[in-house]
Chain A
Amino acid sequence: MIEQLIFYVFAAVLLFSATMVISVRNPVHAALFLVLAFFNSAVLWIMAGAEFLGIVLVLVYVGAVMVLFLFVVMMLDINVAKLREGFIRHLYIGIPVAGVMVVQMLLVVGSGVFAPESLPEPAMPIPEGAANTPLLGSVLYTVYMLQFELAAVILLVAIIAAVMLTLRRREGTKHQDPGQQVRVRKEDRLRVVKIPGRRQADRE
């Protein structure tokens, strides 16, 4: 009973924040609502028994991806008003499409194929009381070692390619060269100029 209550609360907040993501005017607010949506879906996952995915969602998406999003939104000057111009104009197509999708989903879900009792027995049931983080960990670094390493190589290639495509020396930019700053000697910067003082001038 209490579990159901928790589910509905989090599901409701999830729906609300997801709607806000696409309807608020300020892109920073939209990003923050997306964070809220991620938190709520993470809780739903944990309730469904996939606590590892839930934690990863918070760590990776909230911790890394959304921070990046916020940075991008704040750094780039995106003209939101222009992006939103077509909202009403496209609504008359969007609403029927969404309506058709809702009807289709109702037909599929309502047919009873997805009812818990009609689903086949899982081929590999999770052992009673086992947490799925250790289960995943026990195969990730053993049975799926090759795949794990390959994923690491793909990330390495992504780094190399990103650096290759973006790093360039532009002419005319003003940047510091720390090596040069350290190596500098007094003679390079300081010029001692003899300026005749007044007394000296008077004497002559």
Chain B
Amino acid sequence: MTIDAFETPNLLLALPEIWLLAMACVVLVVDLYSSDRDHGPAFILAQITLLVGIGITMITQWGVDATTFNGSYVADSLAAVLKSAILLLVFLGFAYSRDYMRDRGLLRGEFYMLGLFCVLGMMVTVSAGNLLTLYLGVELMSLCLYALVAFDRDSPTGSEAAMKYFVLGALASGMLLYGMSMLYGVTGTLELSAITQAAAEMDEHRLLFLFGLVFMVVGVAFKFGAVPFHMWVPDVYQGAPTPVTLVIATASKVAAVGLFLRLIGEGLLPLLESWQHMVVILAVLSLILGNTIALVQTNIKRMLAYSTFNHVGFILMGFVAGTPHGFGAATFYAVTYALTVAATFGLIMLLARKGFEADQISDFKGLNERSPLFAFVMLLLMISLTGIPGTVGFYAKWMVLKAVVEAGFVWLAVLAVIGAVVGAFYYLRLVRYCYFDKPEGEGPQPDGSRGFQAVLAVNGLAILWFGIFPGSLVAVCMAAFL
């Protein structure tokens, strides 16, 4: 690559990011001058930013296939789908967080600012066309998340979780960067499209190429929280404030899908044979370890952390196929899983009150007596996570399994189905507590503002809606690849 001739960037293509950055700075200033102790203006502005952001993303990037900033920014349908999902998930996270944060004295303007900057980092990651942009996006996202995990400064578990997350995350970033430097050394370019081309024609320096690939797979697996690079996940899920856990469990997983697809899935598709086996190993280990350890958890946040590995295994299985169908299935899986888990954490926040975290599984005993609606939502969420027909989780699992079987990995599909059956035990146990047990002590008390309850109910029922009519969402996810 010679020193590029500079072309004036088409800023309109990058409008979603520009909007988000500008509004994050507006929120910063508005919050500084507002005297509202509840930080209402910052909250409302942040929510408007996220919703308008979805619209802008869809208008400017859906169905487009263009690059700008000399190829370092890609605007295409994949970016549009992933960005909309990320924006929606963080919107849900903010909407559920109000009461929870207020009860714990954590309602501060920085929560919204860091959240918005985190979204910006994720958006940059999923539309990166250049190794440097990709890395900077990942770093922006991670730095915000480290700070958010430590948001409750007085909580020892929170600080411990943040410290672990920071140290392991820095290690992962180092791995990723080291792998990228190898790629740069071999190809002499930072641009992903040029690297894809070089990977297809590579024969002389193949070994060095693969060496870089290994490091990048490790780095991405860290960000995913795939076994065996999962050590940070349970502690972070448990230690972080629940709204932050929600963002890590949902939006950052969707961003990790984008990271994998840009860097390895599409970027190094010519090397499919080489990375397929690595991803298979990650998927198998995630499926096995996640399910077995989730069985014995009594803390629901930890249980969800371990069951995440199971779902990450499924997402990775979609990548293993290496076909557009496989990638589409993985994207669909990640988006629907994130929506389901967002509602689950929303329910935990609904039941939590001052001095009560509602993070033990037994805290859900007798939910049906207190609120039949939210017990039903919980039922929907859990059967969706299990993958029972009628909910969206079933379609997601089915699509991934189909892609994997078509790619010739029947044994992997069988293993995944066995895993899903094991998973049914700990998901349905929660349903049993909700419906067939009496409340203990004060028991669960679902109380929250009307807006919170309405959004949560819609989110929960959407799982049912997409389970019965999955066509539109499937079409959107597939259109990004075909």
Contact = CB atoms under 8 A, between A and B. Distances in A.
Decide whether A and B assemble into one complex. yes
Contact of B117 (A142, A143, A146, A157): A157
B6 A142 contact: yes
Interface stretch (B129-137, B218-226, B314-322): B129-137
A143 B70 contact: yes
Q: Is the interface of B mostly helix, strand, loop or mixed?
A: helix
A147 B114 contact: no
B137 A123 contact: no
Contacts of B136: 147, 150-151, 154
A53 interface: no
Contacts of A123: 1, 188
A99 B146 CA distance: 38
A170 B136 CA distance: 36
Interface string A139-166: 1001111110011011011101101110
Contact of A160 (B70, B110, B146): B110
A182 to B, nearest CB: 21
The size class of the interface chain B forms with chain A is: 35 or more
A124 interface: yes
Contact of B132 (A144, A156, A163, A164): A144
Q: Do most interface residues of chain A lie in helix, strand or loop, or is the interface mixed?
A: helix
Interface in B96-142: 108, 110, 113-114, 117, 120, 124, 130, 132-133, 136-137, 139-140
Contacts of B150: 165
Interface of B: 1-4, 6, 9, 14, 21, 28, 69-70, 72-73, 108, 110, 113-114, 117, 120, 124, 130, 132-133, 136-137, 139-140, 143-144, 146-147, 150-151, 153, 188
A157 B28 CA distance: 11
Nearest to B147: A161
Contacts of B133: 146-147, 150
Contacts of B146: 161
Given A142-B6, A145-B69, A154 B153 contact: no
Contacts of B130: 147
B21 A153 contact: yes
A143 B191 CA distance: 12
A158 B3 CA distance: 32
A164 B114 contact: yes
A157 B69 contact: no
